Structure 1
Amino acid sequence: MGAWMVVGGALLALWATLVPPRPQPPPPEPEVRVLLSYGEREGFERYLFPELGVAAVGGPLQVLSGPSRSQLRPVVTLHSERPLLIRKRQGMVTAYFEGLQFDLAPFVRLRPADPAQPVSFQLLLPNSSRPAYPGELWIEARAEGFLLVNQVGLESYLKRVLPSEMPSSFPSEALKAQAVAARTYAHTRRQAEGFWKRFGADLSDSVSEQAYNAAPPRPASDRAVEETRGQVLTFSGAPIQAFYFSTSPGSTAGIEEVWPERAPLPYLRPRPQGLPSAGRLEHEAEAQAFFQNWNPAGFLDAGSPFWRWRVRFSRLDLERLLARTLPERARVAPEHVETLEGSPPPDAPGFTLGQLREMAVLRRGRGGYVSALQITTSTGRYVVWRESHIRALLRPNKEFTGGQDVLLELWQGPPRLNFPLLPSAAFALVEERDPQGNLLYLTLWGGGLGHGVGMSQYGALGLAQRGYSYRQILEHFYPGSRLEAIR
């Protein structure tokens, strides 16, 4: 008996060495909640869907509903790949599915009926061909329409951010730098009590946060996400604010220069992007010489057609433009539009712009980004603050000038017609006046695309082409930060 126990024990030991242990399932990845946008409208309206059409792909769909996000109950399980329509009818939320009709409460959750069988959701929208969404969909009915939130694993989310934010043809080290920056950005939003939490979300899918699911996943982007899985940037032990943008003109901006309400951060300071160095561009003569230099030699971002650009407005075009955009900015952000002289103010009835006499930069940061612009007309004098409002004020678009096509000339490639927004607030002004001193034309000589804070994506391309690893790229743009795994 004892001998058999010894032999049996040996056999069990041998069997344990021959049979590999059963693989353990990976730990659940963090999830992120993304508020989805409906169209190109401005403000909160872009997130309101008038009605919803959804098709689940890959498995059956469970519909839950209730009076709040925390009080949901199962309503019905539906077959996949058949359209589910959700509409508001006489103040009630009503769903339609293959001839069936059932009422729902204001909060709805769509999830896979079988957790082991993931489902993707195809939104059925007019004039839209968005890729399908993984994870779950949460719907909130409001008086103005439906809010739609996609709850998805963080790494799956990133596989739909990367191809939406950076061309998958970029070198792998640039893609990995983008993956870490985007993961850090989303992770920080998950932890913060920010604006989007009131809608049951951590962030939105628009470029005001980071673009999501504008393009389907790509193999190169997926590899970049997997090879950096779980990695985020920290400073003094906390995740950083990993802002990034498309193209710098030769320098980045300090966070407090672009968003004055934010405190300076040591890893988001103005930094030159190549040689010759931009130097300090607060003064107009230096800024004008810098932006009129269209020689790309030595600049990291010169792979972008937006590295340098210019747009020339006639005075008449500018008057028609400002007559629309100045009151618009005053209504949207009254705290960022100041009336120094003139009555009534731009957002009041009876406002008239008058004849444009001068436009002048009042303040710009070390990296050349304008943060205060003064407009002087025959009826008043106004100051517009903050880069986003200055870019919206000077839209190079005939929809606002009311005349012929507005050409945005780029340093390489064809010009862009009627661009929706000024590419950046990094520009200098050059006037043309008649012998009597009247303004005839104003040319904006500028560079870059985006707000200018943090990592420039074309700068990451330039560094990767120079042999930098993704760790070195991140250290360049976020000095003093450290790579760590999400805890």
Structure 2
Amino acid sequence: MKKTRFFYEINYFLIVLLGWLLLFHKAAEVNRAREKEGWKTWTGCVLGIAGAGGIESGMTVGMQNTGSAEATENDDLPEIAESGDERLSTLSGKIRVLLMDSGYQSYYHSSVTLNLNGADYEYTPDSPELSQGELVLGGGEAGITITSIERQESPPVYYGTLEIQNTPQGLLLINELPLETYLEGVVPSEMPASYESQALMAQAVCARTYAVCQMEEGSLQEEYGADVDDSVNFQVYGNIAPTDKTSQAVRETSGQIMCQDGKPVTAYYFSTSSGRTSTDEIWGGTSSSYLKSVECEFDQNAPWSSWKVTIPWTVLEERTRNLTGSESLESIQVVKKSESGAVTGLQITTEKEAVQLEGEYEIREFLSPQGQTITEKDGSTVTGGSLLPSSYFQLKANKGGCVEITGGGFGHGVGMSQTAANEMAKEGYSWQEILEYFFRDITLDRYE
């Protein structure tokens, strides 16, 4: 039979195809061998890029601990976070969270100990892994447990990636993760998981909206390369572990944020009102139109709806000395209130001068009931903290004796009362109706 040109062309094509298949097979074998034997070289190259100009988007690095600690169970290396990992995929982008130390006192850590893939690691500023200035770890589905950070439910577990940055002041820890996963760590830390589902959903939308605002404003970006921290400075994150109920509240409102004129609002919230909410005028500046002051009777029976505390004169005299340098305190009086009734001006008079404190936080800090007994509406007592429960109060000053303070509410009083939201949910209000009650002229939009 005569062999045609077509016959030879087909054979040539098959031979070339077979050659390519053999090459691909060999390349795959080499790649698997490199994954097993050449990890340190590969990660070293990526960390060099990170130290010079930041990790590229989508690059997540796991690195073996070779000097600062030994794995307690095995010598397995921290694994790379897979880009297809469900916990790392979201329609809403990612947020960068700066993790504070155990007492929420500092952004800088002297060292960090963590558990990753069942192995324990420790890093200090002298660790060779940090010689390039930055180490990025991917936790995968199990997350990264940081054992050197104490929270209400310790130790906290963080998903996404953990960046450890070596600075002259100490180690900075930044957790980068999907926004929706972040919210699963915020909602139970900011509102009790026992609250009604509709209240938790309203909380999730507030938390998401607030986070998006911070991501756009970037107040921590220039100095720290983060969007928020994990404390009350922004929103508490990772203090209490998620539950099925709190995570469901996040999922059922996925992507929903509050907007006005197409822009996300600053969705403040607080614990309990004194019977009326505040506008943000209590912090000075121009009030935002969506932050309305509303009558709030839903939480009128809550323990924190009214309270009283007595502060020794000597305690306030010491604070006055630290504030003004004066040795004596002559009088303390309220000189200004907001339209809603919050104290926005407190005058402190010494033998030399009169000093006026302005602003909700500054006033609550000066009148801190730290270590004093606070009696709540239901007669229960708690030990006071670093801030007066709220700026809704009246005081009676007895020079040389004590200052009696009677007030109501817990928190700054701006935006949504969480206690009221829960009571509204019990009465059948939806999460949308709860938000519309506390925020004026808003629309619900989806953040993509």
Same topology, TM > 0.5: yes
Letter in 2 for 1:81: G
Are residues 126 and 231 of structure 1, via their aligned partners in 2, closer, same or farther at CA, if it must alter by over 3 Å? closer
Task: Name the amino acid aligned to 1:464.
Answer: A
Provide the residue aligned with 1:458 in structure 2. Answer: 419
The answer as to whether partners of 1:130 and 1:215 remain within 8 angstroms in 2 is no
- Percent of residue pairs identical: 32
Q: 1:439: Cα distance to partner?
A: 5.6
SS at match of 1:468: coil
Task: Give the counterpart letter for 2:363 in structure 1.
Answer: I
2:359 to 367, 370, 386: 386
SS at match of 1:444: strand
Map 1:304-383 onto structure 2 (within 5 A). Answer: 304-324=302-322, 327=323, 346=324, 351-354=325-328, 356-383=329-356
Counterpart-to-counterpart distance in 2, 1:378 and 1:448 = 34
Matched residues in 2 for 1:428 and 1:414: separation? Answer: 20
Match of 1:36 in 2: 99
Instruction: Give 2:205's aligned residue.
Output: 180
Distance (Å, rounded) in 2 between the aligned partners of 1:88 and 1:156: 29
Q: Would the aligned equivalents of 1:130 and 1:213 in 2 still touch at CA under 8 Å?
A: no
Give 1:196 shift. 4.5
Instruction: Give the match's secondary structure for 2:341.
Output: coil
Matched to 2:427, the amino acid is R
Q: Is 1:158 matched up with 2:221?
A: no
Displacement of 1:123 after TM fit?
A: 0.6
Equivalent of residue 267 in structure 1, options 284, 290, 295: 290
Is 1:85 the counterpart of 2:51? The answer is no
1:111 and 1:136 in contact (8 A); partners too:
yes
Instruction: Name the residue aligned to 1:302.
Output: 300
The 5 A counterparts of 1:100-179 are 102=129, 104-112=131-139, 117-125=140-148, 129-179=154-204
> How far apart in 2 are the matches of 1:456 and 1:152?
28
**Rounded Cα–Cα distance in structure 2 between residues aligned with 1:160 and 1:452:** 23
Q: Give, in angstroms, the shift of residue 150 of structure 1.
A: 0.6
Q: Retained in 2: the 8 A contact 1:53–1:84? A: yes
Over 3 Å counting, the alpha-carbon distance change for 1:29 and 1:268 in structure 2 is closer
Counterpart residue number, 2:434: 473
Contact 1:138 1:149 in 2 (8 A): yes
Q: How many Å separate the matches in 2 of 1:455 and 1:214?
A: 21
Asked whether the 8 Å contact 2:130–2:165 carries over to 1, the reply is no
- Unaligned stretches of 5+ residues in structure 1: 1-24, 57-79, 96-101, 275-299, 328-345, 399-405, 433-437
CA distance in 2 between partners of 1:177 and 1:470 (Å): 5
State whether residues 202 and 435 of structure 2, in contact with CA within 8 Å, keep that contact through their aligned partners in structure 1: yes
Relative to structure 2, which stretch is displaced further, 366-375 or 210-219? Answer: 366-375
Separation in structure 2 between the aligned mates of residue 160 and residue 193 of structure 1, nearest angstrom: 20
Is the CA contact (8 Å cut-off) linking 1:164 and 1:215 kept in structure 2?
Answer: yes
| 1: CA distance, partners of 2:381 / 2:352 | 34
SS at match of 1:184: helix
Question: 1:377: Cα distance to partner?
Answer: 1.9
Instruction: Measure the CA separation in 2 of the matches of 1:233 and 1:28.
Output: 17
Counterpart of 1:281? none
Structure 1 residue 451: Cα displacement:
1.2
Alpha-carbon spacing, 1:176–1:86, altered in 2? closer, same or farther (3 Å)? same
Pair 124,187 (structure 1): closer, same or farther in 2 beyond 3 Å: same
Q: How does 1:135-284 map to 2 (within 5 A)?
A: 135-255=160-280, 257-261=281-285, 263-274=286-297
| 1:176–1:303 Cα change, 3 Å | farther
Q: 1:259 to 1:54 in 2, by over 3 A?
A: same
Match of 2:408 among 428, 431, 447: 447
CA deviations on 1:188-236 (whole Å, 9 max, x unpaired) are 1112232445311111110121110100111111111111111111111
Give 1:246 deviation, angstroms.
1.0
For residues 309 and 336 of structure 2, what CA distance do their matches in structure 1 show? 21
Distance 2:142 2:373 in 1: 45
Residue identity in the other structure for 2:447: I
Q: Is the 8 A contact 1:119 1:135 kept in 2?
A: no
| 1:410 corresponds to 2:373 | no
Write out aligned runs for 1:284-299 (5 A): none
Number of equivalent positions: 359
- Structure 1 pair 139–303 and aligned structure 2 pair: CA distance change class (3 A): farther
Question: Once superposed, what is the RMSD of the aligned Cα atoms?
Answer: 2.0
Q: Give the number of the structure whose alpha-carbon radius of gyration is greater.
A: 2
Q: Which whole-Å CA distance do the structure 2 matches of 1:140 and 1:422 have between them?
A: 36
Q: Provide the rounded CA distance (Å) in 1 between the counterparts of 2:220 and 2:432.
A: 31
How far is the alpha carbon of 1:241 from its aligned partner?
Answer: 0.9
Distance (Å, rounded) in 1 between the aligned partners of 2:137 and 2:167: 17
Segments of 5+ residues of structure 2 without an aligned counterpart are: 1-85
Higher strand share: 1
Match of 1:425 in 2: 391
Output the amino acid matched with 2:327. L
Q: 1:28 to 1:480 in 2, by over 3 A?
A: closer
User: Post-superposition shift, 1:53?
Assistant: 1.0
Q: Which AA in structure 2 matches 1:140?
A: Q
Question: What is the deviation of 1:52?
Answer: 0.9
Does the Cα contact within 8 Å between 1:358 and 1:439 map onto a contact in 2?
Answer: no
After TM superposition, the score normalised by the length of structure 2 is: 0.76
Deviations 1:41-90 (A, max 9, x none): 54xxx21111111211xxxxxxxxxxxxxxxxxxxxxxx2212211123x
Corresponding residue number in structure 1 for 2:10: none
State how far apart, in whole Å, the 2-side matches of 1:87 and 1:48 are.
12
Quick one: structure 1 residues 466 and 311, their matched pair in 2 at CA, closer, same or farther if it must change by over 3 Å?
A: same
Shift of 1:131: 2.2
Give the letter for the 1:416 counterpart.
V
Shift in alpha-carbon separation, 1:235–1:168, aligned structure 2, 3 A: same
SS of residue matched to 1:150: strand
Q: Which residue of 2 aligns with 1:3?
A: none
Contact 2:149 2:156 in 1 (8 A): no
Deviations 1:330-368 (A, max 9, x none): xxxxxxxxxxxxxxxx2xxxx2331x2211112111222
| Preserved contact between residue 218 and residue 226 of structure 2 (Cα < 8 Å) | no
